[in-house]
Amino acid sequence: MAIGVTFVVSTLIFAVQSKNELIELKEVVAQKSVSEGYKISPIDIPEDLNFAGEKVPQDDPEIMERVDREFLVNTYWQSNAMLLMKRAHKYFPVIEPILAKNGVPDDFKYLAVAESGLENVVSPARATGFWQIMKATGQEYGLEINKNVDERYHLQKSTEVACKYLKKYKKKYGNWTLAAAAYNTGTGSVDKYLRTQKVSDYYDLLLGSETGRYVFRIMAIKEILSDPDRYGFDIKNGDLYSAVPTFTVEVDTPVTSFADFANQYEVNYKILKRHNPWLREPHLNNASKKKYMIEIPNKGYYKETTTP
């Protein structure tokens, strides 16, 4: 009996010691993984910040707190920043030449990133697409918008409209910074703030939370996406998304079934719509015999389509 009791007690002591050692080991690993494997540090903000060539007043501590917030939020939201880098590689080559052609600074491609994350999203106010264009605005500038076709989802055409809007605001306010703010909140709000506060510069305005952060957020996104390695992102060219080469097919008649139409070009309905998100229904009415250019991906980039 004594031997049995001694054995049980010894086993219990060993178990307790082992458990304690395991806990201590886990604590050591946790400490090492936090302190040695991952550092959360303040962001070293560039000293020459600008938006569209317009200098940021970095000697103003209030401005720098707002700048710092956007750099911290957009750097340490790593999953989102990584996705933005991947998408930018795919879509910036489409956006950049349109901005250049229209005389809009290249920095405005980052406005599209801030607006939509380079996705065809719809806001609670029903602003739509990469550039978050409202229905009335799109129609004013010549986009076709109805249940069948919505060209706010057409990247090239919506970028053209965004350029016209931004140039209009630049002419009104005399600088690109206020033009960007007006793109976000509208000229009515900007005019009211300028008039009430008796200032003429974006950086002097007390604005609502979203618009007050807007230009700073664009600048932070610009810096992070332009120099990801500086902000701790280890991303290679092979990690980035790339556009699939396409050719265009002109259509000037109704299309009764885009599923059948896609099959003619050896792709499926899903792929056709991914390349032409502005086609909003499974068919095209086109009673007016309007000419539409539909993008078709080159062969060999998607898996073969199976049909029943």
pLDDT digits over 24-62, tens only? 545 544 555 555 566 788 999 999 999 999 999 999 999
- Is the pLDDT confidence value at 289 over 60? yes
Say if residue 214 is in the same domain as residue 138: yes
Say if residue 132 is in the same domain as residue 263: no
109-151 pLDDT, tens per residue? 999 999 999 999 999 999 999 999 999 999 999 999 999 999 9
Decide if 177 is inside a domain.
yes
Say if residue 255 is in the same domain as residue 180: no
300 — pLDDT class (breaks 50, 70, 90): confident
* pLDDT reported for residue 31: 53
Distance separating alpha carbons of residues 162 and 140, to the nearest angstrom:
12
Say if residue 67 is in the same domain as residue 191: yes
* pLDDT reported for residue 59: 96
* pLDDT reported for residue 6: 41
Say if residue 257 is in the same domain as residue 208: no
Which tokens is 86 given? 């991947």
- Is the pLDDT confidence value at 241 over 50? yes
**C-alpha closest to that of 158 among 128, 187, 136:** 128
194-237 pLDDT, tens per residue? 999 999 999 999 999 899 999 999 999 999 999 999 999 999 99
- Phi and psi angles of residue 180, each rounded to the nearest 5 degrees, phi first: -65, -45
246-280 pLDDT, tens per residue? 999 999 999 999 999 999 999 999 999 999 999 99
Q: Tally the domains of the chain.
A: 2
Decide if 220 is inside a domain.
yes
Cα angle 301-307-308, degrees, rounded to a multiple of 5: 160
Decide if 9 is inside a domain.
no
Host domain of residue 269: 246-297
Distance separating alpha carbons of residues 187 and 173, to the nearest angstrom:
10
Between the CA of residue 299 and those of 36, 63, 266, 267, 303, what are the distances in Å?
Answer: 48, 51, 8, 8, 9
Say if residue 195 is in the same domain as residue 271: no
* pLDDT reported for residue 306: 65
Residues in the chain: 308
Share of the chain above pLDDT 90, in %: 83
Residues 286-294, mean pLDDT to the nearest whole number: 95
Say if residue 69 is in the same domain as residue 167: yes
- Is the pLDDT confidence value at 14 over 60? no
Decide if 110 is inside a domain.
yes
Decide if 156 is inside a domain.
yes
Write down the H helix ranges in the chain. Answer: 2-35, 61-76, 78-101, 109-116, 135-140, 155-173, 176-185, 187-197, 209-226, 258-264, 269-275
Distance separating alpha carbons of residues 73 and 93, to the nearest angstrom:
26
* pLDDT reported for residue 305: 67
The last residue of one of the domains, among 239, 257, 287, is 239
* pLDDT reported for residue 293: 98
Is residue 223 within 8 A of residue 256, CB to CB? The reply is: no
Say if residue 250 is in the same domain as residue 234: no
304 — pLDDT class (breaks 50, 70, 90): confident
Say if residue 235 is in the same domain as residue 140: yes
β-bridge pairing 50-51 and 292-297: unpaired
- Is the pLDDT confidence value at 68 over 70? yes
Decide if 96 is inside a domain.
yes
- Is the pLDDT confidence value at 13 over 70? no
* pLDDT reported for residue 308: 67
- Is the pLDDT confidence value at 5 over 50? no
Residue 199 burial (CB count, 10 A):
13
* pTM for the whole structure: 0.86
- Is the pLDDT confidence value at 12 over 50? no
CATH number at residue 88: 1.10.530.10
* pLDDT reported for residue 18: 53
Say if residue 269 is in the same domain as residue 177: no
The last residue of one of the domains, among 195, 223, 239, is 239
Decide if 40 is inside a domain.
no
Distance separating alpha carbons of residues 50 and 122, to the nearest angstrom:
29
The last residue of one of the domains, among 239, 256, 281, is 239
Say if residue 193 is in the same domain as residue 252: no
Specify the DSSP class assigned to residue 229: G
One-letter amino acid identity for 242? S
Decide if 82 is inside a domain.
yes
Say if residue 210 is in the same domain as residue 254: no
Residues 77-96, mean pLDDT to the nearest whole number: 97
